[in-house]
């Protein structure tokens, strides 16, 4: 995660968008998009005066790449959730989460093994990933419990507020700086994500009540996911992005197996071909989202990547409208426009 404070050191990433950098700049090439630790050099201390044009372009490139990785996460998680809905109805929530995580972990383990990216473990990196895995497990179980006992129109938008925790942490703890328009863009994306997740029409007819049994579970999910991502971010900063994803998935599997044993729930693998195909798709889509998010927060701005990734319900709603011909309510349409507007603002 790199601070883009213009009065200090600025990150230059060559090979991105064909940028021309000033002569003598000490710049290293991004090895590959999927290298476990992208190699950058922090070069040249710039004064607080006018930036060279190429330096401004470099900063814009960093911002744009953050948007790109955030969008990859958003599309992957949204598509995965779209398919996971039917998988959960077939297997049950616990089995679905467990086997999706297993398949995703096999994929990232295979990548790490064949690329030699499995070395470099440190105790802090493992502890951060372990805490993240525990909190992610709590968040997922609380979220599905909230959906079971409460109203989706309340549980989904509340739990999707986890990105607010990350944005505040990025600004207050990591010192990330955004322009006025970027702050507006982040607010649009977060608000749009909440609106897309909600059904205000249902709330209007059924009435809003703080006594809804799903609300406590929704807040537990929001805080567990938010702080879980903070621990995950620290693990990525410590040991790169490959090992934290493997450790995170492994700890989630461990905690889910323990929970299944205590609650005496089945953990049998999918039986039919259809369930296998859906579980594989969701597993690979989910791990792609984690990878894109990890690279984004390691090399670019968390305050941009996180809210974009958290807006994944936008993709799920659009797919439901296009494939199942489901009708979206007015506030969801407003949310879609808000997210798209925020993405455009972030890119300018």
In tens, the pLDDT along 211-221 reads 578 888 889 99
- Exposure pattern of 245-258 as b/e (b: 16+ CB <10 Å)? bbbbbbbbbebbee
pLDDT single digits (tens) 17-50: 333 333 333 333 233 334 444 433 333 333 333 4
Contact yes or no for 272/71 (Cβ under 8 A): no
Question: Which residues, including other chains, have CB under 8 Å from residue 15's CB and lie 6 or more apart?
Answer: 29, 30
Tokens standing for residue 301 = 């701005």
Torsion sign across C-alpha atoms 229, 231, 237, 243:
negative
Q: What is the mean pLDDT of residues 169-180?
A: 82
Mean pLDDT (the chain) is 78
Q: 219 burial class (0-12, 13-18, 19+ CB within 10 angstroms)?
A: middle
Q: What is the mean pLDDT of residues 337-342?
A: 88
The residue that leads in pLDDT, 156 or 65, is 65
Q: What is the mean pLDDT of residues 273-291?
A: 92
pLDDT on residue 172: 86
Report the C-alpha gap between 254 and 98 in whole angstroms.
Answer: 9
Global pTM exceeds 0.85: no
Domain ranges of the chain: 9-43+58-346
């Amino acid at each position: 995660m790199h601070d883009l404070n213009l009065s200090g050191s600025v990150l230059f990433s060559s090979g991105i968008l064909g940028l021309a950098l000033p002569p003598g700049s000490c710049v290293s090439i991004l090895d590959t998009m999927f290298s476990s630790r992208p190699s950058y050099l922090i070069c040249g201390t710039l004064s607080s005066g006018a930036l060279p044009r190429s330096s401004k372009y470099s900063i814009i490139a960093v911002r744009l790449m953050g948007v790109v990785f955030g969008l990859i996460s958003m599309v992957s998680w949204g598509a995965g959730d779209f398919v996971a809905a039917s998988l959960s109805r077939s297997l049950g929530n616990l089995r679905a989460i467990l086997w999706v995580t297993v398949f995703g972990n096999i994929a990232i383990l295979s990548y790490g093994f064949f690329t030699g990216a499995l070395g470099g473990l440190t105790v802090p990196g493992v502890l951060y990933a372990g805490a993240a895995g525990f909190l992610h497990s709590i968040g997922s179980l609380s979220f599905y419990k909230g959906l079971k006992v409460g109203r989706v129109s309340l549980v989904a938008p509340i739990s999707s507020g986890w990105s607010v925790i990350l944005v505040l942490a990025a600004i207050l703890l990591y010192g990330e700086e955004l322009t006025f328009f970027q702050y507006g863009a982040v607010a649009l994306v977060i608000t749009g994500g909440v609106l897309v997740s909600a059904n205000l029409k249902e709330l209007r007819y059924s009435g809003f009540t703080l006594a809804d049994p799903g609300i406590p579970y929704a807040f537990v999910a929001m805080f567990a996911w938010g702080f879980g991502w903070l621990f995950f971010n620290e693990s990525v900063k410590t040991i790169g992005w490959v090992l934290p994803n493997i450790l995170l998935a492994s700890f989630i599997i461990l905690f889910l197996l323990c929970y299944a044993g205590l609650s005496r729930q089945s953990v049998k693998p999918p039986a039919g071909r259809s369930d296998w195909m859906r579980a594989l798709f969701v597993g690979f889509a989910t791990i792609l989202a984690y990878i894109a998010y990890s690279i984004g927060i390691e090399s670019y701005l968390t305050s941009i990547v996180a809210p974009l990734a958290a807006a994944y319900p936008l993709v799920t709603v659009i797919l439901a409208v296009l494939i199942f011909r489901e009708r979206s309510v007015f506030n969801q349409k407003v949310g879609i426009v808000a997210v798209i507007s925020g993405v455009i603002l972030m890119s300018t």
